[in-house]
């Protein structure tokens, strides 16, 4: 089940997932959690399986119908089961953006490329990101 987990952001598995999303840096995971808890603009949704949050997607909606993804992570034991792709598809269905964007590392770029994002390299991205990924939604 895909749901808003911002109110549940104190759950241990949410912090664990955010830590995976920031390259296993616990201090960055804690900073990300604080950002979601304190910001009205940052949204945090997750997918549950048998009561456990197994994946999260953190994002911000911008004026130009763009969703900027800040974090996307799935517990290692639940990867390759479609949770990441499913969260993105649900986000598109529920929020109807014209595009999704994310800045990420090489591993993340591979995932986003595999789900249909255009991937562009850049040396100047914040937080060590190396790639800018964009998914344009067709209006059909």
C-alpha dihedral (15, 19, 35, 131), degrees to nearest 10? -150
Looking at residue 138, its pLDDT comes to 83
91 part of a folded domain:
yes
What is the residue-level pLDDT of the chain in tens, covering all 140 positions? Answer: 788 887 776 778 888 899 888 876 778 888 888 888 899 999 999 999 888 899 999 999 998 999 999 999 999 999 999 999 999 999 999 999 999 999 888 888 999 999 999 999 866 655 555 889 999 998 66
- The dihedral region occupied by 51, where left means phi > 0, alpha psi between -120 and 50, and beta the remainder, is left
Residue 119 belongs to a domain: no
Domains in the chain, number: 1
CATH of the domain at 59: 3.40.630.30
Domain that holds residue 60: 2-102
The answer to whether 77 touches 49, Cβ cutoff 8 Å, is no
Largest CA distance in the chain: 43
């Amino acid at each position: 089940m895909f749901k808003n987990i911002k109110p549940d952001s104190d759950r241990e598995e949410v912090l664990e997932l955010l830590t995976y999303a920031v390259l296993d840096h616990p201090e960055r995971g804690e900073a990300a959690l604080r950002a979601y808890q304190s910001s009205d603009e940052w949204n945090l949704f997750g997918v549950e399986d048998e009561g456990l949050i197994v994946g999260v997607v953190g994002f911000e909606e911008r004026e130009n119908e763009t969703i900027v993804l800040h974090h996307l992570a799935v517990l290692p034991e639940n990867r390759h089961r479609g949770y990441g792709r499913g969260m993105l598809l649900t986000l598109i269905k529920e929020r109807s953006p014209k595009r999704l964007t994310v800045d990420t590392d090489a591993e993340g770029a591979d995932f986003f490329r595999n789900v249909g994002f255009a991937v562009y390299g850049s040396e100047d991205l914040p937080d060590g990101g190396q790639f800018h990924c964009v998914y344009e939604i067709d209006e059909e």
